[in-house]
Amino acid sequence: MTQSVLSVKGLRVSFPTPDGRARAVQDVGFDLGRGETLGIVGESGSGKTVTALSIMGLVPRPGEIEAGSIELNGENLRRLGERRLRQVRGSEIGMIFQEPMTSLHPTLRVGFQIAEAIRAHDGVISREEVRARVESLLDRVGIPDARTRADEYPHTWSGGMLQRAMIAMAVANDPDVLIADEPTTALDVTIQAQVLEVLREMRTETGAALIIISHDLGVIAEMSDRIAVMYGGRIVETGTLEEVFSRPLHPYTAGLMASIPSLEGPVGSLPSIPGRPPDIAQLPSGCSFHPRCQLAQEVCASSVPDLGSRDGHGAACFFSDSVERPVQSSANVLVAQRERIPTPPLLEVDDLRVHYKERRRLFDRRARVARAVDGISLTVAEGETLGLVGESGCGKTTTARAILRLVEPTSGHVRFEGRDLCHTEGSDLRRLRRDIQAVFQDPFGSLNPRLTVRKIVASPLEIQGEMNRAEIRERVRDLLELVSLGQELEDRYPAALSGGQRQRVGIARALALEPAMLVLDEPLSALDVSIQAQILNLLRDLQDRLGLSYLLIAHDLAAVRHLANRVAVMYLGKIVESGFRDEVYSHPAHPYTKALLSAVPVPRPGARSDQIVLRGDLPEIGDRSVGCRFASRCYRAEARCLEAEPELQGEPHAFACFFPLAETVS
């Protein structure tokens, strides 16, 4: 190992809480070699972001670094005065944050904000030189037309472009260390691929060491040389990427790896870690993972295991030798059975369109029309799961909302068991609705904060008004049991529940009316990684037990793969490809599907061989388009694609492309 550029030892950071000081970070230490990339992986509250902010000396008040040293090139940053520390920030250490949309000042020009970073560390540089450097930086991170775009304000830039600008800012002064805190979490997967590529390029160009922080093991596996797994404010395992992935020594690491849905391997119920990540303010005694650990013994509750090796492969666990990576049980047989063309469709959507008139101001006659959903047809059969996937703005959520009649479709039909939902009103509609219920994305926003769990779950029963109070009570109890929630939660308000518990309440409520079908709108995306597997398994289990049909709306292709029998891929308001799951995932026909799949980081070292990185941003949904919607970003587009729009054709594997990927044409 080369001499380390950054060395952190015994870092301890705490925040005051009503019940004393909460240790957000404890005894964290690592060495970062010159040009090396360290991936820090962990769930919310694991202390990974606080660790990064500590290095920058930016722990928000009233948080406080209580102990430890942070040495940059042998200089202890904790001993530095504010003046010298400021020189280090932005010049020797550059940082990239999670939310590009809010991380730039909204009323200062992008170029000016990058120039500030340069001028803060070079007082004598001339205006022209600064300007030239800003333009060249923007150019290097792949902003087209940097000269004019430098004078624009952040709100006219897309998230991907803003994150490039953040990278430009971070590398403006050739830092020794780059810290990227969840740099792509807020971005779509094809944009994530672009940004990670830029980050890799900049790392090479500047020779900086990189700390990349993520909850996504795929991103970590793709970027890192070494990784550190954090849990409950401590590093619980560290080692080289290959070491940790091939033989995890901590039960948490092993459980995490096994619980992540992936694009390869068997499909089935995921081995999930029970329980949930601890609250920093109330860490369990001893090893903070012990309440969730299957290997735990008495000693785990009483003393904190040591990480052992600092440079090699080590884990903070007394029973590292017994750790085994859980295997995903294969339920493929069952799924395969369901893949047979089933009974007549339960839900039929026919040429559905939702167009919005964007009236930007009063008395504006030339209203723009946004074609959020522009002619979608799909079916969902009994007991089947259709996954509707796509990136943000593709119209998948609007489709779901139109099916639920939460927005009025502009045209088209939605038939449920043959009855047309779009042309039913009043009490007929209210009765019809009980058969299609919904589970929403934001488990907090989907529960009325002023009602208890019992009242929330009871409310559909009250609304439909077919049960008396005692029956409702009974039913609520059964429903909570169905989603594995204890009775003691009945009188709690949503604020007192965890994200996973809230989502279970949402599911229980959706099942109250015994619907035939659930519309699941991004049911996992707001949850922690280890909780996602629990909910995913619950959804599978409920489907098996109750024979439910699911329409699953999601951006996470891996999660969809574990739940759906069929998938439909949306791009800018249209379905570009659909078919049985394995067909689409293994042999995508549409270049967009292929690129989308290839952009998903794979949590396996060295998995990446031939990634397709799409150029450009997702276009806005326009008034009308000539030609294929994807042509502007497509790597296979030819003149014809700009002139005519391909139809969705084929059965059961359908795609809308003039030049489908060859090996898939059946």
The site for another protein (CB under 8 A) is made up of: 18, 56, 58, 60-62, 82, 86-91, 94-95, 97, 99, 102-108, 113, 116-117, 120-121, 153, 155-156, 166, 169-170, 360-362, 401, 404-406, 429-431, 433-434, 436-438, 440-442, 445-450, 459-460, 463-464, 493, 506, 509, 512-513
Of 457 and 597, CB closest to another protein: 457
Rounded Cα gap, residues 85 and 92, in angstroms: 10
HSE-CB of 28 using CA atoms within 13 angstroms:
29
| Closest CB 152 distance from another protein, rounded Å | 9
Residue written as token pair 């280890």: 530
| Closest CB 356 distance from another protein, rounded Å | 14
Of 113 and 262, CB closest to another protein: 113
| Closest CB 423 distance from another protein, rounded Å | 17
| Closest CB 431 distance from another protein, rounded Å | 7
Of 495 and 639, CB closest to another protein: 495
Of 18 and 418, CB closest to another protein: 18
What's the gap between Cα 34 and its chain centre?
A: 30
**What SS3 class is residue 173?**
coil
Of 459 and 611, CB closest to another protein: 459
Nearest Cα to 582, choosing from 218, 189, 263?
263
Of 83 and 340, CB closest to another protein: 83
Mark 361-373 as b/e (b = at least 16 C-beta within 10 Å): eeeeeeeeebbbb
Residues in the chain: 666
| Closest CB 173 distance from another protein, rounded Å | 8
| Closest CB 205 distance from another protein, rounded Å | 19
| Closest CB 97 distance from another protein, rounded Å | 6
Of 61 and 624, CB closest to another protein: 61
Rounded Cα gap, residues 279 and 575, in angstroms: 42
CB 352 within 8 Å of CB 344: no
| Closest CB 447 distance from another protein, rounded Å | 6
Structure-token pair, residue 161: 């472009």
Distances (CA, A) of 615 to 202, 541, 595, 638: 18, 40, 11, 16
Rounded Cα gap, residues 389 and 155, in angstroms: 27
| Closest CB 299 distance from another protein, rounded Å | 32
Of 19 and 610, CB closest to another protein: 19
Q: Is residue 101 within a helix (H) or strand (E), and if so which, with residue range? A: helix 100-103
Please give the DSSP secondary-structure letter assigned to residue 287. Answer: S
Of 106 and 486, CB closest to another protein: 106
**Which residues are 347's β-sheet partners?**
380, 416
| Closest CB 25 distance from another protein, rounded Å | 18
Distances (CA, A) of 137 to 128, 227, 256: 14, 29, 38
Q: Is residue 145 within a helix (H) or strand (E), and if so which, with residue range? A: none
Distances (CA, A) of 11 to 30, 67, 168, 478, 660: 10, 6, 29, 47, 54
CA angle 20, 23, 28 (to 5 degrees): 160
Of 211 and 595, CB closest to another protein: 211
Handedness of CA 151, 155, 157, 160 (dihedral sign): positive
